[in-house]
Amino acid sequence: MSAPPVVPPQLATVVLLAGSNIIMNLAWYGHLKFKSAPMLLVIVAAWGLAFFEYALQVPANQIGHQVFTAPQLKGIQETLSILGFFLVSTLWLGEAISLRQLAGFVLMVVAAVLIVGD
């Protein structure tokens, strides 16, 4: 019987961070779709989502630190956070990103890529 394939730490890190960032963007911005919800409920729901975000973020950083530096991990995380925000903003909230905003986010991604490429 052969051993199961091993997932490279780079891939595991990116997949876990992508999942954690989508969840965290939902915690930060997802409640904006429910403006009439009681604030206490919104806070508790956001904290509940944050638990699952941390359940992915912590292992992602532990695994990722085997092959990336902490600044590189942060650069990857920020890039994925921007991409996660695009998904939540457009797909969940139905709010388009303007060209000017897109240009600003692209510059942030360029900065993150410079950090990761170090």
pTM of the model: 0.86
Q: Residue 15: pLDDT above 90?
A: yes
Question: pLDDT band at residue 118, thresholds of 50, 70 and 90?
Answer: low
Q: What pLDDT sits at residue 50?
A: 95
- Of all helices (H) and strands (E), which one includes residue 61? helix 39-64
Q: For 60-69, 79-88, 109-118, which range has the lowest pLDDT when averaged over its residues?
A: 109-118
